[in-house]
Amino acid sequence: MGDVVKVTVLGSFGDLAVIESAVEMLQGHGLEVLQPTKEHLDRARPHLRLRNTGEGWRFLEKLGRMEAEYLEAIDQSDFVFCANNKDGKEYVGQSTAFELGWSVRAKKPIMFLQEPTQSIYRMLVHTGWAMVLDPESWLNSLEDMVARCIARRLGSLREVWLYDQDGEA
């Protein structure tokens, strides 16, 4: 199992600076970021330029392979970090929404960079499935999530998720 807490960062690749900043912050606090890797980001950059051109089909072909890598990383993560910001505003795009749904299916705790505005994501926060990184004490928020993940691994944290122990809703 290992001692290092593993995380996958979700968010809009339309604003890679937010994603890269989140990855840097998490790695700087000793977490292992499974996705996106530097190689993943480097592979994505040229395809992002194609998506709104007549060559968009090339982007879609690559996107399927890259998404499969992401879903596998979510399954292997202790939690997911949703960098739900694009161009300075709260944002969750279609791919991120899909990955958040996959995270819930995989029973992975979620941490949002900022308070979500859409009701479906707010429900995740208000039911305890997700939490929001507190801008005033972001390190405490991150440490709380890491402590929960470690306790979950050790079986000392009572699961307070939307599912019972048999996985039934």
Within-domain flag for 167: no
Within-domain flag for 66: yes
Residue 7 CA, chain-centre distance (Å), reads: 7
Within-domain flag for 84: yes
Within-domain flag for 106: yes
Range of the domain at 76: 6-154
Amino acid in the structure at residue 149: C
Q: What pLDDT does residue 164 have? A: 43
- Write the pLDDT tens digit of every residue in 118-148: 999 999 998 888 889 887 787 888 888 888 8
Q: d(Cα 5, Cα 61) in Å, to the nearest integer? A: 32
Q: Which CATH number is 119's domain given?
A: 3.40.50.450
- Write the pLDDT tens digit of every residue in 51-106: 556 665 556 666 677 788 899 999 999 999 999 999 999 999 988 999 999 999 99
Q: Is the pLDDT confidence value at 157 over 60?
A: no
What confidence category does residue 169 fall into, taking pLDDT thresholds of 50, 70 and 90? very low
Q: Which residue is associated with the tokens 């004490």?
A: 137
What confidence category does residue 14 fall into, taking pLDDT thresholds of 50, 70 and 90? confident
- Write the pLDDT tens digit of every residue in 1-11: 467 999 999 99
Within-domain flag for 25: yes
